[in-house]
Structure 1
Amino acid sequence: MHDGVAKILFTLILCFSTGRTKAIKKDIVFLVDSSGSIFSRDEKQAVDFIYNVTKWLTIGPDDIQISVVTFNTEIDEKFKLKKFNSSAELLPNLKRLIYNSPHGGTETAEALEFVRETSFLPSHGGRPDANKTVVLLTDGQSDNSYNTLRQAELLKALNNTEIFTIGIGSAVSTSNDEIGGISSDPDSYYVQQVDSFIYLCNLVPALVPKLGKF
């Protein structure tokens, strides 16, 4: 077994063996960069990452709901928070999730605005009594850093809202002002980085307990 996979399994088994508490009611939006600097194989790695995180979470109308939104020059909501009401429904559809070919710019500001104004609406499945979480995956600087940081602040200003940022590749780093500015504080908890999409799986053990509140 690959050392990275073994580490993930050991960490998660340990987590469950110590006792799992009921998850906080939470609406989670995975916001995934699909701009022209990303390869199609990278998007598959992103899908696998979301799948491997989600399979450990309690999915349901009284627990956790998941939405996936991709962005480049355009915003594409793959499915709404209210689309799937159980892991049995959600996980097969995540496996089948197909992104359009990566293209265009990195309009992170518009993506964050879409999540704030649309993703968490009741018509999309947003629940007024649920905590709100955004997990942003990006491989580079946005096209307009000022607007991106402004939209991030507006999003974080919503009640019970947090943003995790995952920087991928050499174009971003945990010291990047934009990545740190987008995320909630402290950066040590909300910001992570990997050298390539293929290493996203290494982040699963750290992220799952934060999302599931084990």
Structure 2
Amino acid sequence: MNGVLGLLLLLLSAASTYVRPVVTKECDSINMFGGMCLGVRGRSTPLPSALEECQVTDTDIAFLLDGSGSVAGYEFTTMKNFVVNLIQTLQKKTNNIQFAVSQYSSGCDIHMNFNEFSRAYNWASSVRNIRQQQGGTMTAAAISKLVGQLFVSSAGARPNANKILIVITDGESEDGSNLPSAIARADAKKIIRYAIGVGNAFDSYRARQELDKIASSPAKDYVFKVSNFGALSKILSTLEENIIAIEGIAWLHSIHGRVRPITRCQESPWREDVSLGILPLTDV
């Protein structure tokens, strides 16, 4: 046991000379240095020659919940609980993310902008107490409002932060013809968008195409479809991992002299001939 502990201390000490500590985060491996998960896998070999950069970026995440009349009351409650659970999970991983919560139907209400969320005494209760609007489904108008009124400095959005919008909806919009212009405005602000479609409405080709339009490209990486609101919990861990991966990239040299990007705390196809389980990736 003493020999194993000594090896771990030696490896972590060596790692700290290559990675500048920036932020401490919870990690599934043995420790975190500068935002990168380090863990021993396979036999020990020398560390990579250099870690060029290790930076952690801020991230602003806004949730846009479908409060239209087609969503049953208990389903709206399930959706709010999903949002609370995802936020709590992310808060355990990092302190670089801030949140905002909005709802839309015929209109769009920003219940908590980034400033209000950070100041909330009990934000989870505030989210759970959001009352459902019950109206139409004006998705494009809602996205446009968030781009212009939420992802702005006056609402607490940070100019250099990653911007993420998570849209949860149970059906097609009533203003689909306005989606291209709304998405263009979101793209202009570099807002990364996840689209979560709930229910059998998205069995139709047209509805699936609309989800693809709402989401960032490629759609396969940013679109989720679940059969019902109860199934939202099944995508929580995947969505969490994707968001953490967006939060930053660590650039490093492999032992073969090639520079590779590795996302933080994300499982990668590790090779056994590399120490600490941090590289290399397959060639890209």
Normalised by the shorter chain, which TM-score bucket? Answer: 0.7 to 0.9
Alignment of 1:1-214 (within 5 A): 16-18=27-29, 21=35, 24-58=57-91, 63-85=96-118, 89-94=122-127, 97-159=128-190, 161-173=191-203, 176-213=208-245, 214=265
Q: Distance in 2 between matches of 1:99 and 1:134?
A: 19
Q: Mean alpha-carbon deviation: is it higher for 81-90 or for 34-43?
A: 81-90
Question: TM-score normalised to the size of structure 2?
Answer: 0.63
> Structure 1 191/28 Cα, relative in aligned 2: closer, same or farther at 3 Å?
same
Q: Distance in 1 between matches of 2:133 and 2:72?
A: 7
Give the Å deviation of 1:121. 1.4
Alignment RMSD (CA, Å)? 2.5
SS in 2 for 1:171: helix
Question: TM-score normalised to the size of structure 1?
Answer: 0.83
Give the Å deviation of 1:157. 2.2
> Structure 1 154/195 Cα, relative in aligned 2: closer, same or farther at 3 Å?
same
Per-residue Cα deviation, 1:99-121 (whole angstroms, up to 9, x for no partner): 32442110001100111000111
- Output the amino acid matched with 2:239: L
> Structure 1 193/87 Cα, relative in aligned 2: closer, same or farther at 3 Å?
farther
1:55–1:87 CA contact under 8 A, matched in 2: no
SS in 1 for 2:239: helix
- Output the amino acid matched with 1:185: S
- Output the amino acid matched with 1:33: D
Give the Å deviation of 1:144. 1.7
Q: How many residues align?
A: 196
1:167–1:179 CA contact under 8 A, matched in 2: yes
SS in 2 for 1:38: coil
SS in 2 for 1:17: coil
SS in 2 for 1:29: strand
Give the Å deviation of 1:24. 2.9
Per-residue Cα deviation, 1:4-30 (whole angstroms, up to 9, x for no partner): xxxxxxxxxxx9322553763011100
> Structure 1 210/87 Cα, relative in aligned 2: closer, same or farther at 3 Å?
farther
Give the Å deviation of 1:88. 8.1
2:100–2:117 CA contact under 8 A, matched in 1: no
- Output the amino acid matched with 1:180: D
2:113–2:155 CA contact under 8 A, matched in 1: yes
Q: Which structure has the bigger radius of gyration? A: 2
Give the Å deviation of 1:128. 0.5
- Output the amino acid matched with 2:193: I
Give the Å deviation of 1:209. 1.3
Structure 1 alignment gaps of length 5 or more: 1-14
Structure 2 alignment gaps of length 5 or more: 1-25, 37-55, 246-264, 266-284
1:58–1:87 CA contact under 8 A, matched in 2: no
